[in-house]
Amino acid sequence: MGRLSGRVALVTGAGRGIGAATAKRLAEEGARVTLADLDLEGCERVAQEITKLELPDAALSEDGKLRALALKCDVSTSQSVQETVDRTLETFGRLDILVNNAGILRDNLLFKMSDDDWDQVVNVHLRGAFLCARAAQKPMVEQKYGRIISLSSTSALGNRGQANYSAVKAGLQGLTRTLAIELGPFGITANAVAPGFIDTDMTRATAKRLGLTPEAFQAGVSQHIPLRRVGQPSEVASVIAFLASDDASYVSGQVIYIAGGPVGVLN
C-alpha cells in the first residue's frame, strides 16, 4: 500500500517541471491524479508515464485502469477551474489533495514593469490559487478531509526584478495561513513550499533572458547556496508528497523552504 493509496490529487501546471514531478511522485505513492495545465499535450505525456508506473492496486480507479486524467485548464479562469474540479469528481469520485503549482514569470525592474506584467502574474499565481482552493474546498469539506499545498518561493522575501512575482509568492503564504485557519475545523490542512532555485524550464528561460547558458547560470547561483548546487523538481515533489500524506497530519499553515540552505544566507 502506498502512503497515498485511495487518495485523489489535482495538480495544476502539471505539464512539466515541478508540477509534472509532483504528479508522478503522488501517483507513485498510490494517488490517482488529475493533471491540469494550459499545455494539454504536456499533461497527456506525463499521464502516460504515470499509467506505465508499477503501482499498488489501490491506486486503480473503478475501471481498473485510469490513474491519471489530463485536462486543459487555465487556473486564472473561474469556469475552467470549476470544470476541472467537476471532471475530477466525475472521474475519481473524490478530491483529497490540491497542489497549486501553475506559474509564470514576467520579470522586470519596477520602472519597466507593465500593467500586463503585473496582472498576468497576479492572475495565474494568486487568483489561480484562490479559485482552485475555493472550488476544491467544497468536496473536501464534505469529506471532512483535504490537503492544500501551494507553491511559494524564496522570492517571497524580495527579489530584484520580481516585484510582481515576489508579491504573489508572499501573498500565497498569507492565503495558506488563512486557509489553514478557516478549513482546519473540517480536517483540511493547508501548507506551502517555498523552493529556491530549481532546474526547470522556468529557470532555464531566465538564463536565456540574461544571455547565459543554463549551466553557466546554475554554476553562478550555486556559489551562493550552502549545498553548492541547484535543486531538482523531484526534491520539491518529495516534500509536497510528505505534506499531502498522513505523515503530516498535524502540520498546517506552514511554509517549508526548499533552498539548499537557510534562506537569505549567502555562503
**What is the longest distance spanned by two Cα atoms in the chain?**
55
Q: Least distance from C-beta 100 to ligand NAP, angstroms?
A: 8
165 catalytic per annotation: yes
Closest C-alpha among 36, 44, 141 to residue 83? 36
**Residue 82 to residue 88: CA distance in whole angstroms:** 10
DSSP 203: H
**How far, CA to CA in Å, does 180 sit from each of 128, 172, 253?**
18, 12, 5
Pick the catalytic residue from 145, 165, 250, 257.
165
Taking the complex as a whole, how short is the minimal distance between the CB of residue 59 and ligand NAP, in angstroms?
Answer: 24
* Residue number with CB closer to ligand NAP (146 or 233): 233
Orientation of helix 128-143 relative to helix 163-183, angle to 10°: 20
Nearer to ligand NAP, 60 or 163 (CB): 163
Nearer to ligand NAP, 30 or 260 (CB): 260
What residues line the site for ligand NAP (CB under 6 A)? 12-13, 15-19, 37-39, 42, 73-76, 101-104, 124, 128, 151, 153, 195, 197-198, 200-203
Taking CB atoms, the residue at the shortest distance from ligand NAP is 17
Say how far residue 156 (Cα) sits from the centre of its chain.
15
Cell (9 digits) for 4? 497515498
Active site residues: 165
